Every structure is written in C-alpha cells, then in structure tokens.
Amino acid sequence: MKLALTYFNFPFWRAEVSRLALHLGGIPFEDIRPDRDQWMALKASGTLPYGQLPVLDVDGVRYAQTGAIARFCGQLSGLYPTSDPIAALRVDELLDAATEINYELYPTMRVKDPEEKLAMRQALGREQIPRWLTAIETRLLDNETQAYFVGTQMTVADLAIWRLIAWFTSGILDGVPTDLVDKHPALKAHHAAIDADPRIRAWMESHYPSK
C-alpha cells in the first residue's frame, strides 16, 4: 500500500497524530509538507476533497478529514483498538472532542482587530478551554492505568490530545494562558509522559529541532 500524507510543516495535532502513528508503527509513507505557494496551488487545483488539509493518498486515491485519517493510520500502525469496539468508541470520542475544541479556537483566527481577538481568546481561556480540559482529564482518570486514555497501550487518542495541549500551552495563542493545564495534574502528567517517550522525542527533535 502506497501512502502519502499532506499537511503543513508544523506539528499540529490534525496531521501529527497520523504522521506519528505511521512512524511509530513502522509504516512507510511520503511525508508531504507544502510551503505557502505549494498550498495555494494545491487549494486552487480542486483536488482537495473539502478544500482543506490534512489529506491522505492511499494508492493514488485521496481521503480527507482528520479523524478518519487518524483512525485509518492508527489501524495500520497498531495504535487503534481494532478488535475492541468499546475501546475504539472511546478513542473516537476523544478524536471528536479534539476536533470540537479545535473549532472553538477557529473563529478567533479570523478576527483582524487585535484587541477583539485577545478578548475572545481570554474568554476561551477562562471558560470553554478549562471546561474541555476538565472533561478530557475525567476520561483519563476513568481509565484503569491513567498512563493512556484508553486501555494499557498508546493509541491515536493519546497522540491527538498530547499535540492539542502542546498547542494551548505553546504561547502561540495570545490571550490563552500557557499554564492552563497546570490545574489538571493527571493531564499534565500524561502530556509530559507522551512528550518524553524516546521514540516521540527523537521524531520531534529530528523534525522540529526547536520543540
């Protein structure tokens, strides 16, 4: 099976979850990272099913949507519970939660006025994001091990939430406090553990030396 995953050259959860799943599973894939001009050309080409990234080409056929791609890559790489529908349900739930949290932030990215943007982000940092973090942390606490969100092994849900939290705490979102996760010790510990996984560290250091 020939795979090509296309997304921008930064470790945003939408693509990193699948890039890393394939990498950790030892599944060869072409890692395509368009620059701005290539992205504009790709968008204009009409070949993106929903006009957005990420997309995954499988034997020349193009597929889209973050959650669908993450599940598929997770299945190929052993990071998705293919023989346990209940565990799969929980992984799917977390991928969908990540998508919804992401959508909370999107409107703020289109706001031109810096003060209005800051106020929107501060409100999200005070209300919606802490609520989402509490909900996600509860899922982690509900799991038997708490080392992972589902079962006793890493899944794509762990990778998705790890990168999502890295986004919130990176400081790139002006107005969103970078210490939000400090009030969620289990989530913070989970994040630190995934971040310190030697295979993941090696990937991050080789692809994004500053992170």
Ligand X SMILES: N[C@@H](CCC(=O)N[C@@H](CS)C(=O)NCC(=O)O)C(=O)O
The encoded tokens of residue 47 equal: 């070949």
Query: Number of residues in contact with ligand X, rule: CB under 6 A?
Result: 7
Measured N-to-C along each axis, helices 156-168 and 66-77 cross at an angle, to the nearest 10 degrees, of: 130
Q: With CB under 6 A as the contact rule, which of the stretches 50-58, 107-115, 167-175, 177-185 interacts with ligand X?
A: 50-58
Which residue sits closest to ligand X, CB atoms considered? Answer: 52
By CB under 6 A, the residues from 121 to 150 that bind ligand X are: none
User: Could you give the CA distance from residue 23 to residue 82 in angstroms, rounded to a whole number?
Assistant: 18
Based on the shown chain and the rule CB under 6 A, indicate whether residue 38 belongs to the binding site for ligand X.
no
Residues 122/175, Cβ–Cβ less than 8 Å: yes
Based on the shown chain and the rule CB under 6 A, indicate whether residue 34 belongs to the binding site for ligand X.
no
Q: With CB under 6 A as the contact rule, which of the stretches 49-57, 113-121, 140-148, 192-200 interacts with ligand X?
A: 49-57
Based on the shown chain and the rule CB under 6 A, indicate whether residue 49 belongs to the binding site for ligand X.
no
User: Which residues neighbour 32 within 8 Å (Cβ) at sequence distance 6 or greater?
Assistant: 4, 5, 6, 7
Based on the shown chain and the rule CB under 6 A, indicate whether residue 66 belongs to the binding site for ligand X.
yes
Alpha-helix runs per DSSP H in the chain:
13-24, 36-45, 66-77, 85-109, 114-126, 128-142, 156-168, 185-196, 198-207
By CB under 6 A, the residues from 11 to 30 that bind ligand X are: 14
Which residue among 9, 47, 52, 170 contacts ligand X (CB under 6 A)? 52
Q: How far is the CB of 99 from ligand X (least distance, A)?
A: 6
Instruction: Please report, as ranges, the residues that interact with ligand X according to CB under 6 A.
Output: 14, 51-53, 65-66, 99
